[in-house]
Amino acid sequence: MIDIATILFSTIMCIFVLVRAVLLDARVPWFDRPVAPAEANDIVVPDAAHGWRQRAAVVRQAGADKPPARPGRPAP
Amino acid sequence: MLRPLWVTLIYLAFIILGVAAPFAFSLGYVWVDTFTPQNVVQSIITQIPVSMIMAVLALGSYFMLDRRSPPPVSWQLVLVLLFAAWVTITTAAFAVVPASAWEKWDWAVKTLLFSAFIPFIIRSRVQIEAFLQIYVFSLAVHVVPVGLKTILSGGGYGRSLGIVHGNSGMAEGSMLAAVALMMLPILLFLRQHTLLVPKNSWTSLIYIGFAVITVTCAIGTYARTGMIGMAVVGIALWLRSRHKLLFGVIGVGALLGVMAFTTDAWNSRMSTVATFQSENSAFGRVLIWRWTLGFVAERPMGGGFQAFEINEIRYPSPPGSEQPEIVERGRAFHSIYFEILGEHGWPGLALFLGLVLTSFLNFHRVARWARRTEGMEWLRDLAYALEVSLVTLLACGAFIGIGFQPMLYYMFALSTCLAHQMHRLRQADTVTRQVAGAGAKALAVRSRGRDGGSLIPPPVGAKRS
């Protein structure tokens, strides 16, 4: 009974830790200040916005009033 | 029927998750190496080379998919590769029992090479913690049954309480006690700083319960090495503790508890540490160490793996007794230092001690930097925990032949992982400061009307490439 319970405990914990590690390793920066897992779950990486309309939409969502300037060009 | 199926499924789960993240293959190798599914259950898993498959997948996936942020070449890497080369030379050129020597070389060199590979694949905080968690929970399968059965029915010298039976590897009492005590500081660290297991009172209780079981396991083996290990780990943890008074009170309470609950059989066995000359097992160690010193005086390059097989130890008969002296052949070294000295000579011992020294230096440097850096408490505490674990293993290892067992080399490899982590964190810090400086300059340029867009480069190292 103890043997079976231990095998279950050991293997379940290993797989639980492994799944969490695979998920978190993709989110938490490798060499940055520590980020708690709860915060890491909230990190949303926006898709690359192509074209000024999409860039403007991203900036409006972020609360700014103007779209960002493209490198080497004046701001619109 | 269900047990083999379950363990096979767990093995497959490591492979499936490895497809998503290559470091899972390496953790799978650690699991196979530690949990030893082929010994725990009788199933198809015993018919296939589980360890080799996982090693090939780990190496292949690293070289094909995952060569990000490799660690710089370190002294530790050089030393472990030199050590692997040296043990191969001693096996090929100086082995006194070549057949046995090549048999041990086969697994020992894999341990050394895998430890050299670990820093390449375990590079982030999450991966370091995953390595530790999987290592301790894999060891649980050997430690927990012995610890629990000791609590329920008492242990006993030579009693087979674990899942794996026999008198080698994790089934051997002294080695099990050493490993169990080595886990103690790691478990205390994980309880405090885990990212992967949700932190709450239940999980905290699991870690504390697990830590208590490691101690009862060490007691239950009736191994004197366990008692020495308990003293070392207790003192080392107390020295590293920030609450020395509280820790001291708990330690004294635990000691009184051990004295109250252990049996006379345990106490009388432990007392033989002081009177080793009247006890064959302990006195035999002293004799074999003497033999080893004589052996390397003749063969300074060692006698290759398993060189002890040619020895002949003579136990002198007690004074005034008519008993003939007892002769024992092929007595094992019973000490990592004498094992490496006898097998690989003075150069081998120097390389091994070099690995020990560089590991302590790594832990010391990491702890010193982390102590002075905000938000790095986890790194400081991990360096301390692994340092205590290594001290415990080295102290216990003075009386057991675990010179090529993976736990020592995992500690060496983790010290490199931590040093690498510190190095990259420092780099990221420097870049952040430079970026902040560049940002201030850019603002100044803009305020003079020279708008050239963003001059601030993206932070290097702050994001996965």
Cβ atoms of B315 and B328 closer than 8 Å: yes
Structure tokens belonging to residue B410: 């995992």
User: Is any Cβ of chain B less than 8 angstroms from the Cβ of A76?
Assistant: no
Please state the ipTM of this predicted complex.
0.82
Q: Which of B253, B255, B125 is nearest to B196 (CA)?
A: B125
* Cβ <8 Å between B13 and A75: no
b/e map of B33-58 (b: 16 or more CB within 10 Å)? bbbbbbbbbebebeeeebbebbbebb
Task: State the DSSP code for B327.
Answer: E
Task: State the DSSP code for B84.
Answer: H
In chain B, residues with a C-beta closer than 8 Å to the C-beta of A69 are 451, 453-454
Give the model confidence (pLDDT) of B123-144 as tens digits.
Answer: 889 999 999 999 999 999 999 9
pTM of the model: 0.82
Give the model confidence (pLDDT) of B440-462 as tens digits.
Answer: 665 555 555 444 434 444 444 44
Residue of A nearest to B374 (CA): A33
Contacts 24+ apart (CB under 8 A), B361-365: B362/B76, B362/B415, B362/B416, B362/B418, B362/B419, B363/B387, B363/B390, B363/B415, B363/B418, B365/B419, B365/B422
Cβ atoms of B281 and B326 closer than 8 Å: no
Cβ atoms of B187 and B167 closer than 8 Å: no
In chain A, residues with a C-beta closer than 8 Å to the C-beta of B378 are 34
* Cβ <8 Å between B427 and A31: yes
Cβ atoms of B87 and B344 closer than 8 Å: yes
* Cβ <8 Å between A31 and B425: yes
* Cβ <8 Å between A21 and B21: yes
Residue A41: its pLDDT value, please?
57
3-class DSSP state of B404:
coil
Contacts 24+ apart (CB under 8 A), A46-52: A52/A76
Q: Along chain B (465 residues), what's the average pLDDT of each consecutive run of 10 residues?
A: 85 91 92 87 79 91 83 90 96 92 93 93 91 94 90 73 74 88 94 90 92 90 87 90 86 80 71 62 84 92 91 78 78 91 95 96 94 89 94 93 92 94 82 65 53 42 43
> CB-based contacts of B205: which residues, under 8 Å, 6+ apart?
none
Q: Which of B292, B301, B295, B330 is nearest to B92 (CA)?
A: B301
* Cβ <8 Å between B197 and A20: yes
Give the model confidence (pLDDT) of A3-60 as tens digits.
Answer: 889 999 999 999 999 999 999 888 777 766 555 555 555 655 555 556 666 766 766 6
Q: Which of B426, B427, B336, B420 is nearest to B383 (CA)?
A: B420
The C-alpha atoms of residue B335 and residue B403 are separated, in whole angstroms, by 8
What's the farthest any 2 CA atoms get from each other in chain A?
73
Residue A12: its pLDDT value, please?
94
**What is the residue-wise DSSP string for B26-38?**
HHHHHHHHHH-HH
Mutate to test the interface with A, among B141, B176, B213 (most CBs of A within 10 A): B141
Q: What are phi and psi of B313, to 5 degrees?
A: -100, 130
* Cβ <8 Å between B195 and A33: no
The C-alpha atoms of residue B380 and residue B367 are separated, in whole angstroms, by 4
Mutate to test the interface with B, among A1, A2, A18, A35 (most CBs of B within 10 A): A18
Q: Which of B444, B345, B390 is nearest to B86 (CA)?
A: B345
**What is the residue-wise DSSP string for B264-301?**
HHHHHHHHTTTTGGG-HHHHHHHHHHHHHHHHHHH-TT
Cβ atoms of A38 and B196 closer than 8 Å: no
Residue of B nearest to A75 (CA): B453
Residue B455: its pLDDT value, please?
40
State the count of interchain CB pairs (< 8 A) between A and B: 133
Residue with tokens 């120097």: B350
CB count within 10 Å of CB B403 equals 23
Residue A59: its pLDDT value, please?
64
Smallest CA–CA distance, residue A5 to chain B, in Å, is 9
Structure tokens belonging to residue A23: 């998920």
Cβ atoms of B96 and B310 closer than 8 Å: yes
* Cβ <8 Å between A21 and B130: yes
Residue B5: its pLDDT value, please?
87
3-class DSSP state of B403:
coil
Residue A38: its pLDDT value, please?
58
